[in-house]
Amino acid sequence: MTNSIAEVKDADVIFVIGSNTTENHPVIGAQMKQAKAQGAKLIVADPRKIDLANDSDVFLQIKPGTNIALLNSMMNVIIEEGLEDKKYIAERTEDYEELVKLVKAYTPEKIGEICEIDPEDIRKAARIYAKGDKSGIYYAMGITQHKKGTHGVMAVSNLALLCGNIGKESAGVNPLRGQNNVQGACDMGGLPADYPGYQKVFKPEIQEKFEKTWNTKLSPKVGLTIPEVIHGAEEGSVNFLYIMGENPMISDPDINHVKKALDNVDFLVVQDIFLTETAERADVVLPAASFAEKEGTFTNSERRIQRVRKAVEAPGEAKPDWVILMDIMNRLGYDKKYSSPSEIMDEIASVTPQYGGISYDRISKIGLQWPCPSKSHPGTKYLHKGVFARGKGLFMPQEYVGSVESVDSEYPYIMTTGRVLYHYHSRSMTGRVEGLNKKAPVSFIEINPATANRLNIEDGEKVKVTSRRGTITTMAKITDIIGEDTVFIPFHYADGAANVLTGTELDPIAKIPELKVTAVRIEKIL
Amino acid sequence: MDTVIIKINDERVEVPNDFTILQAAKKMGIDIPTLCYDERLESHAACRMCVVEVEGARNLQTSCSLKVADGMEIKTHSERVIQARKDILDLLWANHPNDCLTCEKSGECKLQEYCYKYDVKETTFEGKRKNYEIDDSSPFFYNNQNKCINCGKCVRVCSELQHTNAIGFSERGFNTHVSTPFEIGIDNSVCVSCGNCVSVCPVGALMPKSKEKFRLWETKKVRTTCSYCGVGCQMDLLVKDNKVVGVQPANGPSNNGLLCVKGKFGFNFINHPDRLNKPLIKKDGQFVESSWEEAYGLIVEKVNNIKSEKGSEVFAGFTSARCTNEENYLFQKLFRAGIGTNSVDHCARL
Ligand code: SF4
Ligand code: SF4
Ligand code: SF4
């Protein structure tokens, strides 16, 4: 997030696109509603009539995969009506003309048809967004999990730049992170091209810096992303795979394909707190400590590094992940020993510019937000104040391209996936909490009443859902939350797993799979 | 910011002019009792426990709502004030079930605490007892209105902070009680099980359903960060005998004392019997428990063999958005410095 979570409450306009905030980030959802009660305007764009839509000033029930068309059209209206922030554009941005050229064709009339919404609503949303002094955009996987996901993010940023909303309190561009420490895992270099702090592995001066601090030779070759690893494993070019605390057997697209890949590697190590569907396929399983059994830090969506503290002992012989990793590293001949996570953080601070000022004693009461480059730096509440990291904010206009998956007579409905309030990711934790299971016991498919009627399907009935990749059985939930041509399945469940159906089509830049758009057919089980 | 000078219990103090008397007293370390006050909500002045004597005012004033003024002289624990508080407690106690011996809230109940502090042993009223059916429909908490003191915090938190509006006050007078519309029960209402009402209830009316029996004084609190989504809510784990038995919200920068159902009630996986507690090695298709040394030995042997045979490029690792920063750092370091490949990724994209 460019901005802080507490700033949500003071926004004039909140634009939520591709995020079911009240279910996936409930405490931010509550703060959005507080803002709304104080007079903020709320715009919601989503294929489903999510809870926030009920509170919204404009609700745009767009067809899945049409975010970029919508965003471009909103910009078309803003420029057409002269609502852009001219001073900001002149002083702080570049390539504005390119944007003007590109969005010209995106008239609300034309785009209304593509997104399957009323053109007037596009105008209304554009005006509300542009007229707010502090307009914040909040998005999640609904923007990124598409073949053109990276372009979707750029389109969001174009809109924010157009109205001068980056580098301002209670505004900004705010991706909401699904998992507790996605932000930190990225910051720490859990990415194939990046050392900690997004320092590129292929830059010689960076390589040299890490070779010096780590006292070893390093490779300048960019590594493989998860989908590439899965593919490589299936093909035989990846032979050793080590999975820590992830369950791709539920969370990754095209599960049948993942299964083949995991079974095809020579050696699979899985380190986790439960014997997950993925761990079952391992050669060695290492028992790890849960968050309540170890010291450390998580970095939340607003870039705040916060303490995690040990409350209880891990069961049996389970060990904190950092101890396991250090043990293995040492046995492989790399000798560095750490006595505590605090000491690891000191090393992180020494090699990661954004974390330069972080130490456990500074964050013992309240976490600090990066960038925090030095021990005296107070942390950064919102990014790009006054000036962008790169100097000028660059407009990166993007054309709308339809999703790769398309419907036809055999697969006539678009399935989109997501989460529910009561579960978390692959349910390895929440599936073991009685009350949560009671509230959300089984996989289901949301179907519009008209569609259900046509298919002669009743609420609670078991149905067969088939895509070009596989078939699952799940329970019909008839609801007008969803439009007639779209269906929704939460991806949490192993039984009736939505990701048996999804495809592995990737966004070529961010390598994010197109999980939000899958063509399916629905059949009654006779 | 403008400040004013006031006197509390004969001591002079300078405070910002938008402070309430309650805030000023708190700043001086003076404890004024409250039942309905929550700093995140507009003052309500409903319970009247926080009354104080203000020189020149005929009636006692509610300190949670009255703003300070220059020259104000305030008594927070005068005889008159203490008597007023006793009367309130006396009245509340008149229809309270009087079962502190077995009440789960005992030890953190405000009514109990104040009756002790203000020496209220029994009620002088012959009060009618309430006789509501307990709403235990939610899998996460009970609503026992026989213990409710009508402070209104739960209703206000649900409507003004959580904005779900699942609960409200029904009926009037003696029969006033907190419930869902049409008494349909929490589980059938629009309630999202966040438990934020439960966390603010000062008495044992809204209580988590707990698997363990524990008293607050038997537990220690450990401040930590929620392990579910990226909001990073701050919370205290309540620990008894090496077990997490409860979670209370803390006032972190991103959550302001709120939690959602997963953070508040989703902790029982920690002690779950399915937890892995020994390394496992697959032999002939079956997992066999092993020692750490054996498991490490096998991994190191495989790494060395595969590396010498095929090089570093055939290795890959998925690090975890669930693990800590320190662990993610070590994971990528293990792969980059220990094994020699940059093929490290995690499921940020999923
Ligand atoms: S649990 Fe949350 S939603 Fe339900 S009544 Fe309490 S505050 Fe309202
Ligand atoms: S249930 Fe608890 S919080 Fe709600 S009004 Fe009664 S005493 Fe107050
Ligand atoms: S309590 Fe809920 S909103 Fe807060 S971090 Fe945990 S899962 Fe997210």
ipTM (interface predicted TM): 0.92
Q: Could you tell me if B162 and B258 are in contact, meaning their C-beta atoms sit under 8 angstroms apart? A: yes
CA angle B221, B222, B223 (to 5 degrees): 120
Query: What's the pLDDT at A247?
Result: 85
Same domain, A11 and A73: yes
A282 contacts in chain B (CB < 8 Å): 280, 282
Measure the CA–CA gap between B33 and B27, rounded to whole angstroms. 14
Higher pLDDT, residue B9 or A141: B9
Query: What's the pLDDT at A54?
Result: 94
* Cα separation values, A281 from A267, A469, A525, B237, Å: 10, 22, 31, 33
Measure the CA–CA gap between A68 and A154, rounded to whole angstroms. 9
CB proximity list for B214: less than 8 A, separation 6 or greater:
B238, B240, B245, B246
Is the minimum distance from the CB of B228 to ligand 3 under 6 angstroms? yes
Query: What's the pLDDT at A432?
Result: 85
Domain closes at, from A337, A369, A401? A369
Same domain, B298 and B335: yes
B1 pLDDT band, cuts 50/70/90, is confident
Domain closes at, from A176, A211, A246? A176
Would you call A246 and B322 a contact, using CB atoms and an 8 Å cutoff?
Answer: yes
Centre of ligand 3 to C-alpha B324, Å, is: 16
Same domain, A167 and A198: no
Measure the CA–CA gap between A67 and B225, rounded to whole angstroms. 33
Higher pLDDT, residue B143 or B348: B143
To test the pocket of ligand 2, the residue of B154, B176, B179 to mutate (highest count of ligand atoms within 8 Å of its CB) is B154
Ligand 2 atom 8: the closest Cα is on which residue? B151
Coil, helix or strand at residue B211: coil
Considering its fold, how many domains does chain A have in total?
A: 3
> Model confidence over B268-325: pLDDT tens digits?
999 999 999 999 999 999 999 999 999 999 999 999 999 999 999 999 999 999 999 9
Q: Does A41 reside within a domain?
A: yes
Query: What's the pLDDT at A427?
Result: 81
Same domain, B8 and B56: yes
Centre of ligand 1 to C-alpha B184, Å, is: 14
Residue of chain B minimizing CA distance to A344: B326
Which residues, numbered 237 to 296 in chain B, qualify as contacts with chain A under a Cβ-Cβ cut-off of 8 Å?
Answer: 237, 239, 242-244, 252-256, 258-263, 265-272, 274-282, 287, 292, 295-296
Pick the range with the lowest mean pLDDT from A155-164, A306-315, A385-394, B33-42.
A385-394
Q: Does A385 reside within a domain?
A: no
Centre of ligand 3 to C-alpha B194, Å, is: 10
Amino acid at B231: V
Q: Which domain holds residue A34?
A: 5-176
Query: What's the pLDDT at B151?
Result: 93
Centre of ligand 1 to C-alpha B197, Å, is: 6
Ligand 1 atom closest to the Cα of residue B180 is 5
Q: Does A408 reside within a domain?
A: no
Would you call B296 and A237 a contact, using CB atoms and an 8 Å cutoff?
Answer: no
CA angle B185, B165, A447 (to 5 degrees): 75
> Model confidence over B55-64: pLDDT tens digits?
998 999 999 9
Q: What are the two backbone dihedrals, phi and then psi, of residue A290, each rounded to the nearest 5 degrees?
A: -85, 175
Query: What's the pLDDT at A332?
Result: 92
What is the token pair recorded at A238?
A: 């990846």
CA dihedral over B130, B136, B142, B143, signed as positive or negative: negative
Pick the range with the lowest mean pLDDT from A74-88, A367-381, A488-502, B147-161.
A488-502
Q: Give me the residue from B278, B298, B320 closest to A317, CB to CB.
A: B278
Domain closes at, from B254, B275, B296? B275
Q: Does A377 reside within a domain?
A: no
Q: Does B43 reside within a domain?
A: yes
Measure the CA–CA gap between A230 and A241, rounded to whole angstroms. 10
Q: Does B170 reside within a domain?
A: no
**What's chain A's average pLDDT?**
90
Percent of chain B residues topping a pLDDT of 90: 82
A249 pLDDT band, cuts 50/70/90, is confident
Same domain, A196 and A330: yes
Q: Could you tell me if A16 and A43 are in contact, meaning their C-beta atoms sit under 8 angstroms apart? A: yes
With a cut of 70, say whether residue A10 has pLDDT above it: yes
Q: Give me the residue from A182, A245, A432 closest to B268, CB to CB.
A: A432
* Cα separation values, A120 from A126, A135, A520, B50, B200, Å: 10, 20, 31, 53, 44
> Model confidence over A146-155: pLDDT tens digits?
555 678 888 9
Query: What's the pLDDT at A119?
Result: 95
Domain closes at, from B22, B55, B77? B77
Average pLDDT score over residue span B145-168: 94
Same domain, B271 and B305: no
DSSP code for B313: G
Residue B141 pairs in a beta bridge with: B208
Is the minimum distance from the CB of B199 to ligand 1 under 6 angstroms? no
Would you call A311 and B239 a contact, using CB atoms and an 8 Å cutoff?
Answer: yes
Which residues, numbered 136 to 155 in chain B, qualify as contacts with chain A under a Cβ-Cβ cut-off of 8 Å?
Answer: 138-140
To test the pocket of ligand 1, the residue of B192, B198, B259 to mutate (highest count of ligand atoms within 8 Å of its CB) is B192
Is the minimum distance from the CB of B229 to ligand 3 under 6 angstroms? yes
Same domain, A82 and A209: no
What is the token pair recorded at B289?
A: 């428990």
Higher pLDDT, residue A420 or B350: A420
Query: What's the pLDDT at A327?
Result: 96
Q: Does B131 reside within a domain?
A: no
Q: Please give the distance of CA B182 from its chain centroid, rounded to a whole number.
A: 28
Centre of ligand 1 to C-alpha B189, Å, is: 10
Average pLDDT score over residue span A404-426: 84
Ligand 1 atom 8: the closest Cα is on which residue? B158
Measure the CA–CA gap between B17 and B20, rounded to whole angstroms. 8
Q: Could you tell me if A411 and A468 are in contact, meaning their C-beta atoms sit under 8 angstroms apart? A: yes
Same domain, A82 and A142: yes
Same domain, B327 and B301: yes
CA angle A40, A43, A48 (to 5 degrees): 135
Pick the range with the lowest mean pLDDT from A147-156, A370-379, B92-101, B292-301.
A147-156
Q: Does A47 reside within a domain?
A: yes
Q: Does B146 reside within a domain?
A: no
Amino acid at A354: Q
Would you call B232 and A298 a contact, using CB atoms and an 8 Å cutoff?
Answer: yes
Which residues, numbered 183 to 212 in chain A, qualify as contacts with chain B under a Cβ-Cβ cut-off of 8 Å?
Answer: 183-193, 195-196, 201, 210
By DSSP bridging, strand A41-45 and strand A13-17 are parallel
B214 vs A: CB within 8 A: no
CB pairs under 8 A between A and B: 473
To test the pocket of ligand 3, the residue of B198, B229, B237 to mutate (highest count of ligand atoms within 8 Å of its CB) is B229
Q: Does A93 reside within a domain?
A: yes
Q: Give me the residue from A176, A318, A321 closest to B323, CB to CB.
A: A321
For residue B55, what is the domain's CATH number? 3.10.20.740
Domain closes at, from A176, A195, A226? A176
| DSSP E strands, A178-303 | 194-195, 199-200, 240-244, 267-272, 284-287, 296-299
Q: Which domain holds residue B61?
A: 3-77
DSSP string, B102-138: T-TTTTS-HHHHHHHHTT--S-SS-PPPP-PPPB--S
Same domain, B268 and B323: no
To test the pocket of ligand 3, the residue of A27, A291, A301, A436 to mutate (highest count of ligand atoms within 8 Å of its CB) is A27
> Model confidence over B216-229: pLDDT tens digits?
899 999 999 999 99
pTM for this predicted structure: 0.93
Same domain, A446 and A354: no
Higher pLDDT, residue A196 or A492: A196
With a cut of 80, say whether residue A365 has pLDDT above it: yes
A512 pLDDT band, cuts 50/70/90, is low
Ligand 2 atom 4: the closest Cα is on which residue? B154
Is B160 buried (19+), middle (13-18) or exposed (0-12) by CB count in 10 A? middle
DSSP code for A9: G
Q: Give me the residue from A187, A300, A317 closest to B292, CB to CB.
A: A317
Q: Does B201 reside within a domain?
A: no
CA dihedral over A394, A400, A404, A405, signed as positive or negative: positive
Query: What's the pLDDT at A509?
Result: 61
B279 contacts in chain A (CB < 8 Å): 284-287, 317
Same domain, B309 and B291: yes
Q: Could you tell me if B97 and B66 are in contact, meaning their C-beta atoms sit under 8 angstroms apart? A: no
A7 pLDDT band, cuts 50/70/90, is very high
DSSP string, B55-77: TT-SS-EETTTPBP-TT-EEESS
Same domain, A95 and A10: yes
CB proximity list for B36: less than 8 A, separation 6 or greater:
B44, B45, B46, B47, B49, B64, B151, B152, B153
With a cut of 60, say whether residue A508 has pLDDT above it: no
DSSP code for A388: B
Neighbours of B220 (CB within 10 A): 10
Neighbours of A271 (CB within 10 A): 27
Q: Does A510 reside within a domain?
A: yes
Same domain, A215 and A294: yes
Considering its fold, how many domains does chain B have in total?
A: 3
Percent of chain B residues topping a pLDDT of 70: 99
Is A374 buried (19+), middle (13-18) or exposed (0-12) by CB count in 10 A? exposed
Query: What's the pLDDT at B162?
Result: 96
Average pLDDT score over residue span B117-138: 85
A423 pLDDT band, cuts 50/70/90, is confident
With a cut of 70, say whether residue B350 has pLDDT above it: no
Is the minimum distance from the CB of A26 to ligand 3 under 6 angstroms? yes
Domain closes at, from B253, B275, B297? B275
For residue A269, what is the domain's CATH number? 3.40.50.740
Measure the CA–CA gap between A451 and A133, rounded to whole angstroms. 42
Query: What's the pLDDT at B348?
Result: 62
Same domain, A518 and A447: yes
How near does any CA of chain A get to the CA of B92, in Å?
Answer: 32
B194 contacts in chain A (CB < 8 Å): 26, 30
Percent of chain A residues topping a pLDDT of 90: 64
DSSP string, A422-454: T--TTSTTGGG-HHHHHHS-S-EEEE-HHHHHH
For residue A100, what is the domain's CATH number? 3.40.228.10
With a cut of 70, say whether residue A199 has pLDDT above it: yes
Same domain, B7 and B73: yes
Q: Does A335 reside within a domain?
A: yes
CA dihedral over A171, A175, A177, A183, signed as positive or negative: negative
Measure the CA–CA gap between A114 and A335, rounded to whole angstroms. 59
Residue ranges lining ligand 2, Cβ < 6 Å? B 148-154, 178, 200-203, 205-206
